[in-house]
Amino acid sequence: MSHPHIAQKAPYPLDVEAGKNYFWCSCGLSKNQPLCDGSHKTTDMTPVKYTAAKDGKVFFCGCKHSVNKPLCDGTHGKI
């Protein structure tokens, strides 16, 4: 299992729409953070699907080490 690249040590706020699916980049290589752009093909990692329960702002993990993936849990402050 390879380790994800730290895209940034902060979450990525994103406005999401209820019922819509989002594919969070778990490898950290996407140029379209926090979402997957296919760059993980060079790794053994795959994106994590997130379905928005309601309209609003979501804080996606930017450091890629959150225990609560794909959402930020504050882990970026400890790495």
Residues that bind ligand FES in the complex, under the rule CB under 6 A: 25-27, 29-30, 36-40, 45, 47
Q: Collapsing DSSP states into helix, strand and coil, what is residue 12?
A: strand
How far is it, in rounded angstroms, from Cα 39 to Cα 51?
A: 21
* CB 42 to ligand FES: min, Å: 9
Here the tokens at position 10 are 């902060």
* CB 47 to ligand FES: min, Å: 4
In a 10 Å sphere around its CB, with 0-12 CB exposed, 13-18 middle and 19+ buried, how is residue 63 labelled?
buried
Identify which of residues 9 and 56 has a Cβ nearer to ligand FES in the complex.
Answer: 9
Identify which of residues 37 and 55 has a Cβ nearer to ligand FES in the complex.
Answer: 37
Identify which of residues 51 and 56 has a Cβ nearer to ligand FES in the complex.
Answer: 51
